Structure 1
Amino acid sequence: MNWYLKVLENYANFSGRARRKEYWMFTLFHILILLALALTGVATESSVFIIICYLYILITLIPTLAVAVRRLHDIGKSGWFYLLRMIPLVGPILMLVWFCTDSEHGKNQWGDNPKGFGNDREISMIGRE
C-alpha cells in the first residue's frame, strides 16, 4: 500500500524514474480498488458506486500517466513512447514488455537508478563515511 500512496504523493511528477516494483504495486492496488468499486456497484445495483468508480478513474488519471512515464524513463525511453499504447494490439504488448524490463543501470538523463545499482555517486562515496 505504501507504493500506491507514494505514487499519489508524486501526483503530477512526470520527471525522474520509477522502479518496476513502484509501477506494478500501484497498478495492482489501482485495479483492486476499481474492482471493489465496480463489484459493489453491480452487487447493490446502485448507480452511485458506478459514478464513484468513474470519479476514481478521473482522479487517478494523472498519477497513472505520471508513474507510467517515470517507468519508461527508468528503462531509458522518453515518456512520449507511451503514446504507442494507442496502436491496437501491438501497443499494449510493447508497453507490457517495457514495463517488465529491468531498470537501466546507472544514471541516465532522467536521474539516478532508483534501486541504487550502478550509480556513480554511490560508488564514489565508499570510504568517505
Structure 2
Amino acid sequence: MSPLDWAFLPLQRYFDFAGRSPRSEYWWFYLLVSILSMACGWIDLAVDPTAVVGVASLLVSLATIIPLLAVSVRRLHDRNRSGWNLLKPPAPGIVMAILAAFGPFGLFVGTIIFVGTCLWLVVLLCLPGTSGPNHYGEHPYGLQYYAT
C-alpha cells in the first residue's frame, strides 16, 4: 500500500474500534491530520486573524476526532493493549489539578506524572505490534512478523 492509502484507510474504517492497525496506518493518518490542521489554521488566520478558533479548523477537528481515536485504539490493540490505555495521560491531568492546590511542588509533581504518561503512550504507539495473532485479532499485514 502507498502512504496515501495508509493515510486514508482510517477514514474508511471511521467507527471501527475493533481489530488491529499497523504503525504505518497510524502514523500516516496522524501526518495527514496534522497537515490538514495546519492548513486549516492558516486559512482561518487569513480569513479572520482575531478568531480564537476558526471554522475550518473546527470542521477538520470534528471530522477527524473519531477516526483518530479509532486508529489509536486499533494501534494499541496491535501491541496487545486495551484501548482504555488512551485514558491514562488525561488522568494525571486531574491529579495535577488537585496537587496544584498544594502549591508549586504539587504542580511540578503532577506535571512530571502527566509528561511521563504521555511519553509512555507515544512509546507504545511507536513500538512494533505483536507478531502473529493476539487477543485483538490477526496480524494487520496478514503475515507472521518476528520483531528483533
Please state which band the TM-score falls in when normalised by the shorter chain.
0.7 to 0.9
Instruction: Name the counterpart of 2:115.
Output: 89
1:116 to partner: Cα distance: 2.8
Instruction: Name the counterpart of 1:35.
Output: 38
Percentage identity across aligned positions? 33
CA contact (8 A) 2:89 2:118 kept: yes
1:109 to partner: Cα distance: 1.3
* Residues 1:61 and 2:65 aligned together: yes
Aligned equivalents of 2:117, 2:67: Cα separation in 1:
20
Question: Structure 2: which 5+ runs fail to align?
Answer: 93-113
* Residues 1:22 and 2:25 aligned together: yes
1:42 to partner: Cα distance: 1.3
Q: TM-score, normalised by structure 1?
A: 0.84
Instruction: Name the counterpart of 1:127.
Output: none
Aligned equivalents of 1:114, 1:94: Cα separation in 2:
23
Secondary structure at 1:106's aligned position in 2? coil
1:45 to partner: Cα distance: 2.7
Write out per-residue CA displacement over residues 4-47 of structure 1, whole angstroms, 9 at most, x where no aligned residue.
Answer: 22100100100000000000000001000000000121134365
Aligned equivalents of 2:142, 2:13: Cα separation in 1:
20
Instruction: Name the counterpart of 2:129.
Output: 103
The one-letter amino acid paired with 2:123 is V
Instruction: Name the counterpart of 1:4.
Output: 7
The one-letter amino acid paired with 1:60 is T
1:58 to partner: Cα distance: 1.2
Aligned equivalents of 1:114, 1:108: Cα separation in 2:
11
Aligned residues: 118
Secondary structure at 2:18's aligned position in 1? coil
1:105 to partner: Cα distance: 0.5
Q: CA RMSD in A?
A: 1.7
Q: TM-score, normalised by structure 2?
A: 0.74
1:81 to partner: Cα distance: 0.7
Secondary structure at 1:16's aligned position in 2? coil
CA contact (8 A) 2:43 2:56 kept: no
Instruction: Name the counterpart of 1:117.
Output: 143
